[in-house]
Amino acid sequence: MAKRVLVVEDNELNLKLFCDLLRAHDFAAEPVSDGREAVARARDFAPDLIVMDIQMPHVTGYDLIRELKRDAELRRIPIMAVTAYAGREDEERIRSAGADAYVSKPISLMRFIEEVRALIPAAPEAEMPAPEPESAPELALEPQPDTDATDTPDAPETEARD
């Protein structure tokens, strides 16, 4: 079953980009563009991971991360923060709010997916390789009997010569 990722991001283009990227890697992605809906949606969707934008109108990612981590049920869901700020102070603020990882914008798509996989234990491509298709063992062909090699010894010509 596909792992579920809730994506909280007010920028519609980024929201679509993240969701498309996740779906291309076999995750079930659920977009949330209004941060005020994030906690309720997390409860309904029961994601395996939350991707959280930090800069949003109405409510910041920091506030949402703190709120999620205070919730007895939701706190177990790992949170990957996404932010335009890449300074050390920002990273510390993000981590102290309770985020498990953070990726800075502009996003490296490769790094984004790597971080997602690292935060979800059995992410699709981290699972064991699919079993090889079963193939019937090939029957060893018995050597065909030589049919045209029936040497019938010539009857000895017996010429009676008197």
Q: Give the residues lining the site for Mn ion (CB under 5 A).
A: 10, 53, 55-56
φ/ψ (deg, to 5) at 140: -70, 130
Closer CB to Mn ion, 65 or 120, in the complex: 65
> Least distance in Å: CB of 10 to Mn ion?
4
Closer CB to Mn ion, 2 or 55, in the complex: 55
> Least distance in Å: CB of 8 to Mn ion?
9
> Least distance in Å: CB of 59 to Mn ion?
11
Closer CB to Mn ion, 87 or 124, in the complex: 87
Burial tier of 5 (Cβ tally within 10 Å: 0-12, 13-18, 19+): buried
Closer CB to Mn ion, 32 or 120, in the complex: 32
> Least distance in Å: CB of 87 to Mn ion?
17
Compute CA distances 147 → 92, 140, 151, 154, whole Å: 85, 20, 10, 18
